[in-house]
Amino acid sequence: MANSPIGKIFACHECDHFYSYEMIPVGAKANCHHCGNLLYRHIPDSINRSLALYLTALILFFIANIFPFLSLELGGRVVDSILFSSGWAMYKLGMGELGALIILTSILFPFTVIVGMLYLLIPARLGTVAPFMSQVYRIVNKLIPWSLVGVFMLGVLIAIVKLQDLANVATGPSLVALTLLLLVYTAARANFDPHDLWSFAEHNFSNLSREDIENHKILNCHTCGLLSRQTANSQNCTRCLSPLHFRKHNSVEVTWALLIAAFVLLIPANVYPVMTVIRFGQGEPSTILSGVLHLIESGMWGLAMIVFIASIVVPVLKLVILSFLLISVHKKSDWRPRDRTLLYRVTEIVGAWSMVDIFLVGLLSSLVSLDALSTIRPGIGAVFFAAVVVITMFAAHSFDPRLIWDQIKENNNKD
Ligand SMILES: [Zn+2]
Ligand SMILES: [Zn+2]
């Protein structure tokens, strides 16, 4: 019989307040009273459901990768594009680093997450534990924020609209598979309850009492959420083997360093062209901003808004919000901790959507390669922009939102 977490103590990941698991109705979710973070949900039959969905996702993943998803027809010539093409085109055009980033985030990481989850769920379905479960769980967890199927899909939609005035665009069977993959993958993640998986494992739930929590320093595992009493200077989670620390190591310093790097890189990312459209031998380099203006001139207001928000507003806002959070922590502010945590959560979620510009450059470069007629080449600005997106994502991950709450607790203790 599997173990249940009911009655066991755990801590909120974002503010470190302690709770004990209670039975909640099917489909309900429990949120933190203090910061509003989602603590857990009651998903019935989570193992079976997520297993079925991940299996479907795997099949769709293969279909999506085998067949062409877009073809471009111009002057009697047809260019087919499969998923792999956009990354490969970047590599062939001398931008291997961008090609690798595209292939990793749109193909390899999502594939690893799907296969990794199946590796964990199939034995759980049979009531046992997969060998190296902890390691696989950690890898899957690390890769989930970098698996950008949805962002890639948005890139495909923008590419279709953008290419309308250039040539005939036909959608292939794999575009349907890719759309379904996105839906099934999202549903699979939403239907997975890690407690059901851990209930079969050794050290499945923490046995700490309220007294332990009052009298000892408690470490909350970032990966799996298991609480441990601090016993040594460097300590690993007994359940998922992740290194444990009370707060993320040097969170403030590391986040500052990454933010400053991103601020600096934002300049060349906006000054240099992200791509060059060559028509009948005439090159027309375009920066992020001139690309947006070009869309407005062509009357594509909606698209211009999406590109403007994803590639200019989001990166700048993210840098500003993270800087504000760091300064507020530094100043030991006790101003609206719940709202500041919400701001943090938003930056963490929206950051990856800026990648849409990189996917778009890759898609356009692979599709529009009709030599003399029309060709799109990536520009050096795209490399700087990709660096900004990746670095700000790392910056958001390195910031520890519990630092916001430490000051509040300190003030409460004084009162
Ligand atoms: Zn909380
Ligand atoms: Zn853990």
Same domain, 263 and 185: no
Which residues are paired to 169 by β-bridges? 72
Q: Which ligand is nearest to the CA of 405?
A: 1
Least confident of 40-44, 99-103, 208-212, 257-261: 208-212
Same domain, 36 and 58: no
| pLDDT value of position 12 | 95
Which span out of 166-180, 198-212, 382-396 was modeled with the highest average pLDDT? Answer: 382-396
Residues 6+ apart with CB under 8 A from 130: 119, 120, 122, 123, 124, 136
| pLDDT tier, 251 (very low <50, low <70, confident <90, very high otherwise) | very high
Q: How far apart are CA 96 and CA 90, in angstroms?
A: 6
Residue 281: inside a domain: yes
Ligand 1: centre distance to CA 338 (Å):
8
| pLDDT value of position 279 | 81
Ligand 2: centre distance to CA 218 (Å):
13
Q: Would you tell me the crossing angle of helices 380-398 and 314-330 to the nearest 10 degrees? A: 30
Ligand 1: centre distance to CA 235 (Å):
24
Q: Examine the pLDDT at 371 and tell me if it is beyond 70.
A: no
Averaged pLDDT for residues 108-113: 98
HSE of 139, CA atoms in CB hemisphere, 13 A: 17
| pLDDT value of position 150 | 95
Here the tokens at position 155 are: 């890139």
Ligand 2: centre distance to CA 258 (Å):
26
Averaged pLDDT for residues 399-406: 94
Ligand 1: centre distance to CA 13 (Å):
6
Residue 272: inside a domain: yes
Residue 352: inside a domain: yes
Q: Which ligand is nearest to the CA of 31?
A: 1
Element containing residue 162 per DSSP (H, E): helix 149-163
Same domain, 209 and 269: no
Same domain, 195 and 292: no
Ligand 1: centre distance to CA 337 (Å):
10
Same domain, 412 and 265: yes
Q: Tell me how far apart the 2 most distant CA atoms of the chain are, in Å.
A: 78
Residue 160: inside a domain: yes
Same domain, 75 and 14: no
CA proximity to 378, closest of 294, 269, 301, 292: 269
Ligand 2: centre distance to CA 86 (Å):
37
- What Cα–Cα distance (Å) separates residue 296 from each residue in 275, 293, 299? 17, 5, 5
* 65-82 tens-digit pLDDT: 999 989 888 878 888 889
| pLDDT value of position 2 | 52
Number of H helices, E strands in the chain: 17, 14
Ligand 1: centre distance to CA 35 (Å):
4
* 121-135 tens-digit pLDDT: 999 999 889 999 999
Same domain, 255 and 148: no
Ligand 2: centre distance to CA 133 (Å):
11
Residue 290: inside a domain: yes
What's the CATH code of the domain at 320? 1.20.140
Q: Which ligand is nearest to the CA of 13?
A: 1
Which residues are paired to 376 by β-bridges? 277
CA proximity to 89, closest of 376, 392, 385, 345: 376
Using a pLDDT cut of 70, give the percent of the chain over it: 99
Q: How many domains does the chain have?
A: 3
Here the tokens at position 261 are: 């790097």
| pLDDT tier, 166 (very low <50, low <70, confident <90, very high otherwise) | confident
Same domain, 215 and 197: no
Q: How far apart are CA 189 and CA 114, in angstroms?
A: 10
CA proximity to 198, closest of 230, 229, 228, 226: 226
Q: Examine the pLDDT at 373 and tell me if it is beyond 80.
A: no
- What Cα–Cα distance (Å) separates residue 160 from each residue in 157, 178, 258, 320? 5, 14, 34, 32
| pLDDT tier, 372 (very low <50, low <70, confident <90, very high otherwise) | low
Range of the domain at 76: 46-203
Same domain, 256 and 348: yes
Residue 244: inside a domain: no
Residue 243: inside a domain: no
Cα four-point dihedral sign 329, 333, 337, 340: negative
| pLDDT value of position 1 | 39
* 186-214 tens-digit pLDDT: 999 999 999 889 888 877 888 888 888 88
Q: How many residues does the chain have?
A: 415
What phi, psi does 222 have (nearest 5°)?
Answer: -65, -30
Averaged pLDDT for residues 278-293: 88
Average pLDDT, the chain: 92
Residue with tokens 């099934």: 184
Same domain, 177 and 270: no
Distance of CA 102 to the CA centre of its chain: 14
* 237-248 tens-digit pLDDT: 999 999 999 999
Same domain, 284 and 199: no
Which residues are paired to 286 by β-bridges? 275
Q: How far apart are CA 309 and CA 355, in angstroms?
A: 12
Ligand 1: centre distance to CA 344 (Å):
13
pTM for this model (two decimals): 0.94
Q: How far apart are CA 26 and CA 36, in angstroms?
A: 20
* 89-103 tens-digit pLDDT: 999 999 999 999 999
User: Are residues 374 and 279 in contact, defined by beta-carbon separation less than 8 angstroms?
Assistant: yes
Same domain, 267 and 407: yes
Here the tokens at position 399 are: 């910031």
Q: How far apart are CA 127 and CA 111, in angstroms?
A: 25
Residue 245: inside a domain: no
Q: Which ligand is nearest to the CA of 222?
A: 2
| pLDDT value of position 306 | 92
